[in-house]
A and B are shown apart, each in its own frame.
Chain A
Amino acid sequence: KAGVTQTPRYLIKTRGQQVTLSCSPISGHRSVSWYQQTPGQGLQFLFEYFSETQRNKGNFPGRFSGRQFSNSRSEMNVSTLELGDSALYLCASSLGGEGSGTEAFFGQGTRLTVV
């Protein structure tokens, strides 16, 4: 059974640019969550999608957005990049149904560097 796949693994972008990261969840999983990991703030929840609908969003500015497709694959977009957006972005997949237990499995992440 394939795990969670994130692409690309590494990205270098310039301030002001925008970036799109991709996540393919485990087959059969309908929930995809995104997290930002930085040395200062640790792991922080960005947002969660289930069946193409955003169910929850963390405390991040509107520059951070996402979407989920009918095949459960998800993308997150960051516009007008700032130096502080440099981080490891992790995607997690889970079954996601009500009362499903929320067991989440993570991908290897995308390391974004903003210069």
Chain B
Amino acid sequence: AQKVTQAQTEISVVEKEDVTLDCVYETRDTTYYLFWYKQPPSGELVFLIRRNSFDEQNEISGRYSWNFQKSTSSFNFTITASQVVDSAVYFCALTAGGRGGADGLTFGKGTHLIIQP
């Protein structure tokens, strides 16, 4: 069975601080995909990034960066110079590869990020 753990239930920081959201996963599949989604109060899950299990390169997109380490089964997300608009619930998710999404996503419980002005 697959499992995603986001140990941080809620994080509160002051604007412009850097913040890292942790994600630890468990899977027996050798091919899998990891995701991060953002859920603002409106409810829609906004796709942020996808990583496959064969690509451990870190990725940076503007103020966002992701650190994928298979050795520790972690896929952490860092926001640099946080802004109030980053306030949302962030979800890490996992799915097995090779079946085009048929297995569905296994989500963590989410981290509620609060950026105070």
Binding site for B on A (CB under 8 A): 31, 33, 35, 42-45, 47-48, 50, 55-56, 58, 88, 90, 92, 94-109, 111
Contacts and interface: CB of A to CB of B under 8 A. Distances in A.
Contact of B45 (A48, A50, A58, A106): A106
Contact of A55 (B42, B43, B102): B102
Nearest to B108: A42
Identify whether the interface residues of B are mostly helix, strand, loop, or mixed.
Answer: loop
Given A44-B107, A99-B97, A108-B42, 6 more contacts: A31-B102, A56-B103, A102-B101, A104-B101, A105-B47, A106-B45
B100 A50 contact: yes
B44 A31 contact: no
14 contacts: A42-B109, A43-B91, A43-B110, A45-B104, A47-B104, A50-B101, A56-B104, A92-B45, A98-B98, A101-B33, A102-B101, A103-B50, A105-B47, A106-B46
Contacts of A102: 33, 50, 95, 97, 100-101
Given A42-B110, A43-B107, A101-B33, A50 B102 contact: yes
A97 B107 CA distance: 22
B83 interface: no
Interface in B67-117: 91, 93, 95, 97-110
B101 A48 contact: yes
Contacts, number: 84
Nearest to A110: B43
Q: Which residue among B42, B95, B104, B105 has the maximum number of chain A CB atoms within 10 Å of its CB? A: B104
B37 to A, nearest CB: 7
B47 A103 contact: yes
Q: Which residue among B42, B99, B100, B109 has the maximum number of chain A CB atoms within 10 Å of its CB? A: B100
A102 B101 CA distance: 5
Nearest to A4: B44
A97 B43 CA distance: 27
